[in-house]
Amino acid sequence: MGRSTKNEIRLARLFPGLTFLHRKKKQSDMQSAISEADLKIPVHLGVIMDGNGRWAQERHLPRSAGHRAGAENLKELCRNCGYYGVRYLTVYAFSTENWSRPDDEVHALMELFVEFFERYDPELEKEGIRVRFSGDIENLPADIQAVCARAEKNSIHRKRMDLIIAMNYGGRREIMQACRAISKEVAEGRLLPENITETTITEHMYIPDVPDPDLIIRPSGEQRLSNFLVWEGAYAEFWVSDILWPDFGFKELTDAFAAFSSRDRRFGGLSKSK
């Protein structure tokens, strides 16, 4: 049985009456021109999980059903990244701007976060996935903060992959908070302004021990960063796909890695071949 058929059966169980639209052949449906053994796997992958609303709309379902299918797919992504040996996976789950959505959608998303760990933590444990959060966590509702703290504490011993959930995250807010912390050190005489370097700023990011992302994937056809990993993603490769997030599966991930494998990352220098 094909992977997408299995996905569809699983989703049909969750949403009785759901019909599956035939997916048009898109660029990302083409066969990768590279064998699995030759794939270059990013150490740190970032994913903007976009398109849940449109996925639900296409099926005449509420937006919350799209987010639920997106959460299911996050679990699949974790498994697929584990298979490929990705060491760090950062997913954009809730931005500092998402508070402007209708209350019921925000509420449904918060409930989904809680449910995600209740349902999937045993699987994350089995896969050796440590859970971490990046974002303005202190300004989340207290019950959500407690869920985050518990998920981090329960998984701290897991070594295979770090799943970093960007939650109440905004790249600009992260830089602003770093500036505040650095200014405080200067004001207290613990740091001289002339000693502030790029490393100082990196050290004041939410999770400074994690290397910069090598590749950022955005499904659903949009071609922007939307305030995701603004500082850390300065040299990340970017890959977009027309597939909506809940349908973004193993094949699309493989296509992204195939494209990444062929990129010439120069970091502002010259190609090694020149």
| Amino acid letter, 190 | R
Work out how close the CB of 146 gets to ligand FPP at its nearest, in angstroms, rounded to a whole number: 15
* 98 is an interface residue for ligand FPP by CB under 6 A: yes
Compare residues 71 and 258 and give the one whose CB is closer to ligand FPP.
71
Point out which span in 107-115, 176-184, 228-236, 247-255 binds ligand FPP (CB under 6 A).
Answer: 107-115
Q: Cβ distance 170 to 199 under 8 Å? A: no
Which of positions 45-64 make contact with ligand FPP (CB under 6 A)?
49-54
Point out which span in 9-17, 77-85, 112-120, 183-191 binds ligand FPP (CB under 6 A).
Answer: 112-120
Q: How far is CA 250 from CA 75, 82, 127, in A?
A: 12, 11, 16
Work out how close the CB of 100 gets to ligand FPP at its nearest, in angstroms, rounded to a whole number: 11
Active-site residue, selected from the candidate residues 7, 50, 73, 247: 50
- Residues 214, 81, 208, 226, Cα dihedral to 10°: 60
Q: Which residue is nearest to ligand FPP (CB)?
A: 53
**Alpha helices (H) along the chain:** 3-14, 52-58, 63-84, 103-126, 142-155, 171-187, 198-203, 250-261
Point out which span in 21-29, 66-74, 176-184, 265-273 binds ligand FPP (CB under 6 A).
Answer: 66-74
Residues touching ligand FPP, count (CB under 6 A): 17
Active site residue 73: no
Active site residue 227: no
Q: How far is CA 14 from CA 8, 11, 66, 72, 90, in A?
A: 10, 5, 11, 10, 26
* 113 is an interface residue for ligand FPP by CB under 6 A: yes
When binding is defined by CB under 6 A, the residue of 42, 46, 86, 116 that contacts ligand FPP is: 116
Q: Cβ distance 257 to 67 under 8 Å? A: no
Q: Residue 196's Cα: distance from chain center in Å?
A: 30
Active-site residue, selected from the candidate residues 7, 29, 98, 195: 98
When binding is defined by CB under 6 A, the residue of 42, 70, 82, 170 that contacts ligand FPP is: 70
Task: Draw the binding track, 150-189, toward ligand FPP (x: CB under 6 A; -: no contact).
Answer: ---------------x------------------------
User: Residue 264 has which token pair?
Assistant: 């010439």
What 3 state SS string does 214-252 have? CEEEECCCCCCCCCCCCCCCCCCEEEECCCCHHHCCHHH
Which of positions 11-30 make contact with ligand FPP (CB under 6 A)?
none
How far apart (Å, rounded) are the C-alpha atoms in residues 157 and 40?
Answer: 27
Work out how close the CB of 189 gets to ligand FPP at its nearest, in angstroms, rounded to a whole number: 41
Catalytic residue ranges? 50, 98
**Contact set with ligand FPP (CB under 6 A):** 49-54, 67, 70-71, 74, 93, 98, 109, 112-113, 116, 165
